[in-house]
Amino acid sequence: MIELDNVSYGYRGNALFSQLSLTLAPGSFHFLTGPSGAGKTTLLRLCYADLRAMRGKVRIFGEDAGALNRDAVAMSRRRIGVVHQDCQFLDHLSIAENIALPLTVSGRAGEAANDLEELLNWVGLGPQAGQLPPELSGGERQRAALARAVIVSPDVIIADEPTGNVDWEMSQRILNLLIELNKMGKTILIATHDLAMIRSAKSDVSARILRLTDGQLMQAGAEL
């Protein structure tokens, strides 16, 4: 699905990581953890071609991400659902319209009606469908972001701190939604600081836990 091969990246001449490799196989579930500033978000952005690797190769669905033109990047985003920590909504549109946005931009707005209602109920936001994003709580926004990420039935879901702003109960609810998606065959990559969430997931899903620290990506697990 997505493959990073000896990838290096940095900001203003400072290397964040170098010669890093990662493969997200179809249907796999990955947690990415590590201290703040280690480069987790950067790594995720490389995975959905929001950044281009300085060295090495990123392959997305078999294509060299560095060679993709802007339209091709947009097309690849339609197969990758992204959930940001700060959610990023269009504040002038209702939650239902925001969730349907990936369908709208891909010219499939007509498919939205049935899928949308089902999805809103799945994430428990049916009653909030007509509300504007600023009117929702942090947890509701996170669930809305997740619903938006999956409405086009993407092959891969990349979530950056999806439970960063919510309480334990809500983080479990979001995690369960992601596990459910993985059981439906979706490839999941989650960057998180929430070790408790990772521990709680271990019993429900076969997840690979990666730790990014000092520019190195290592397999973790035993200490969790």
Partner 1 sequence: MKALLALIVGDPLADRSVPQTGVTARLTVFVAAVMAFLAVIALAVSLTTNRVATVWAEELAQSATLRLPADPATADALLLYALEVLETTPGVSTVRALSQDEQQALLEPWFGPDLPLDALPMPQLIEIVADGDGYDVDGLRARLEGQVPGAILDDHAAWREPLLQAASRVRLIGWTVILLIGATVAAMITLAAQAALAANVQVISVLRLVGATDTYIARAFVRRFTLRAGAGAIIGAVFGVGVLALMPQGDASGSLLMDVGFAGAEWLWPLLIPLLAAIVAFFATRAAAFRRLREQT
If the CB atoms of residues 53 and 220 are measured against partner 1, the closer one turns out to be: 53
Q: Report d(CA 76, CA 106) in Å as an integer.
A: 12
216-219 β-sheet, strand order: 80-83, 156-160, 187-191, 29-33, 208-213, 216-219
CB of 144: closest distance to partner 1 in angstroms? 12
Name the nearest CA neighbour of 22 among 49, 43, 45.
43
For 122, other C-beta atoms within 10 Å of its C-beta total 15
**DSSP 8-state class, residue 61:** T
CB of 44 to partner 1, least distance (A): 12
Q: Is the dihedral of CA 144, 148, 149, 153 positive or negative?
A: positive
Tell the smallest beta-carbon distance from residue 200 to partner 1 (Å): 28
In this complex, which beta carbon is closest to partner 1, that of residue 90 or of residue 218?
90
Give the nearer residue to partner 1 in terms of CB position, either 40 or 84. 84
Nearer to partner 1, 77 or 143 (CB): 77
In angstroms, give the least distance from the CB of 48 to partner 1.
8
Half-sphere exposure (CA, 13 Å, Cβ side) for 52? 8
Question: Which residues would be at the binding site for partner 1 (CB under 8 A)?
Answer: 50, 70-71, 74-75, 77-78, 82, 84, 88-90, 92-93, 97, 101-102, 104-106, 109, 148, 152
Instruction: Give residue for tokens 């909504």.
Output: 89
Nearer to partner 1, 82 or 166 (CB): 82
Is residue 102 a contact partner of residue 67, using CB atoms and an 8 Å limit? no
Q: Report the nearest approach of partner 1 to the CB of residue 206 (Å).
A: 29
